[in-house]
Amino acid sequence: MTGTEQRPCRVCAAPIAPFMTFGSMPIANGFLDEADIATEYRFELAPAFCESCATFQLYEQPSPARLFHDQYPFFSSSSQAMAAHFDAFAASVRRRLGARPALVVEIGSNDGTLLQHFNGDGCRGVGVEPAANVAAVARARGLETIEAFFGRALAESLRSQHGPADAIVAANVICHIPDVQDFAAGVAALLSDEGVLVFEDPYVGDMLAKRSYDQIYDEHVFMWSATSVANAIRPHGLELIDVEAQPTHGGSMRYVCGRAGRHPISAAVAALRQSEEAAGICSRTRYDQFRVECEAARDQFRSLLLSLREQGRTVAGYAATSKSTTLLNYCGIDRSLIAYIADTTPLKQGKVTPGSHIPVVSPDVFLADPPEFAVLFAWNHAAEVMAKQQAFTAGGGKWITFVPDVAILDASGGRDA
Ligand code: TMP
Ligand code: ZN
């Protein structure tokens, strides 16, 4: 990529160009068999920032059908902390809806971990999920699930079949939808007059503050802010009415949107927009600084692993996250530096990681023959993983983290001097 190419912003159509590149990247969730390495798909992972509407977005994205298919390996129920988070998310939406009967449509309902809370007590939940395998899990749990991508056409057919939705909810999904205008048009078509769209996604402000560049991968075509969300939905007669920061996925934001003029606007919206201005989230300069920070973090991580290899220490990884694909490929890490990655997801075990081709094994291997050092790729689930794997540190093992900076942790989770 030369840096001189331009294409229209996905939100406002102003010309944009990448501010950096992470290089050639495979599909982040594209865990593969060794036999398929030669034909692995790659694209250039390069983020862009639109100075007209302040939206952080990928310049190029593989087609969604390549990402969300019948072998999609991510199950919402794989983390206990996320399951608890979804309980609270559902309770907050239900409080907004009050006691009246309500139709709740979830976009990207995955295996039904959130949707299950909108079934019963006067609520009717309908899920929309394009990945066949996870949709089948939800259906087997008795949850009505339509196997499709959400957009205006689907929204219109949902409305004619079920009536207007009182709430549309989505968790870690809206940032995956490249045609954000078609999504917003769909929301405008489906929502009742007083209805609300409540969605949460990883927050660009946290990514910048924590230098968590591993959040940037094919599925995260956007990293939203309050400013960019407001700009994206405005053309569809929608406005941002509330925001609430969430600790999930390394720092997320929950956005509540409704038809313009129909709802009181919480003071939190203006406060967050002011803090975004102050933090430079709306200016290109901040993203140029981020690029420099990413380059330094890459060099640090690689040097640590090279020096451990030189010392003959054993190093493995824990949790084959989608995020780790960007980290491993950008930093040029392979199985000579990290012998294997343990992960609880059966679909990933026995495969190798995308691009870096490190074997994924069951956590039993990690327990039976622990390495001296383990990179904690699921840094956003650090508390849950470290609690589950206490035997590792009790036996002298050390965790390595890389967010907000590269460090070796002591047994209590603090940074070793
Ligand atoms: P995520 O960071 O995209 O949510 O992916 C989490 C991955 O981490 C998923 O593959 C499951 C795995 N995992 C474990 O292997 N053990 C754990 O204790 C937790 C919380 C997650
Ligand atoms: Zn724009």
DSSP code string of 229-266? HHHHHGGGTEEEEEEEEE-GGGSEEEEEEEETTSSPPP
Alpha carbon nearest to ligand 1 atom 13, residue: 319
Q: Is 129 in the pocket of ligand 1 (CB under 6 A)?
A: no
Is 343's C-beta closer than 6 angstroms to any atom of ligand 1? yes
What is the per-residue pLDDT for 410? 80
Q: How far is the CA of 333 from the centre of ligand 2 (A)?
A: 34
Q: How far apart are CA 56 and CA 78, in angstroms?
A: 28
C-alpha of residue 381 to centroid of ligand 1, in Å? 7
- Report which protein residue has its CA nearest ligand 1's atom 8: 319
CB of 319 closer than 6 A to ligand 1? yes
- The pair of structure tokens assigned to 325 is 């694909």
Task: Please state, for a pLDDT cut of 70, what percent of the chain lies above it.
Answer: 99
pLDDT given for residue 63 in this prediction: 82
Q: 314: helix, coil or strand?
A: coil
**Helices vs strands, H then E, count in the chain:** 13, 20
Tell me which amino acid residue 320 is. A
Which of 157-168 are b and which e, b meaning 16 or more Cβ less than 10 Å from the residue's Cβ?
A: ebbeeeeebbbb
Partners of 399 in the β-ladder: 374
Ligand 1 neighbour 214 (Cβ under 6 A): no
Q: In a structure prediction context, what are the per-residue pLDDT tens digits for the chain, which is 417 residues long?
A: 545 678 999 999 999 999 999 999 999 999 999 999 999 999 999 999 999 999 999 999 988 888 777 887 778 887 888 899 999 999 999 999 998 899 999 999 999 999 999 999 899 999 999 999 999 999 999 999 999 999 999 999 999 999 999 999 999 999 999 999 999 999 999 999 999 999 999 999 999 999 999 999 999 999 999 999 999 999 999 999 999 999 999 999 999 999 999 999 999 999 999 999 999 999 999 999 999 999 999 999 999 999 999 999 999 999 999 999 999 999 999 999 999 999 999 999 999 999 999 999 999 999 999 999 999 999 999 988 999 999 999 999 999 999 999 999 987 778 875
Ligand 1: residue whose CA is nearest its atom 1: 321
Q: Give the tens place of pLDDT for each residue, 243-283.
A: 999 999 999 999 999 999 999 999 999 999 999 999 999 99
Length, in residues, of the chain: 417
Helix, strand, coil share of the chain (percent; to 5): 40, 25, 40
State if residue 109 touches ligand 1 by the CB under 6 angstroms criterion: no
Instruction: Specify the residue with its C-alpha closest to ligand 1, atom 5.
Output: 321
Q: Judge if the beta carbon of residue 362 lies within 6 A of ligand 1.
A: no
Does residue 212's CB lie within 6 angstroms of at least one atom of ligand 1? Answer: no
CA-to-CA separations, 116 to 120, 127, 145, 167, 198, in angstroms, rounded: 9, 10, 11, 15, 16
Which two tokens mark 182? 């078609």
pLDDT digits (tens, 9 = 90+) for 90-123: 999 999 999 889 999 999 999 999 999 999 989 9
- From the CA of 327, which ligand is nearest? 1
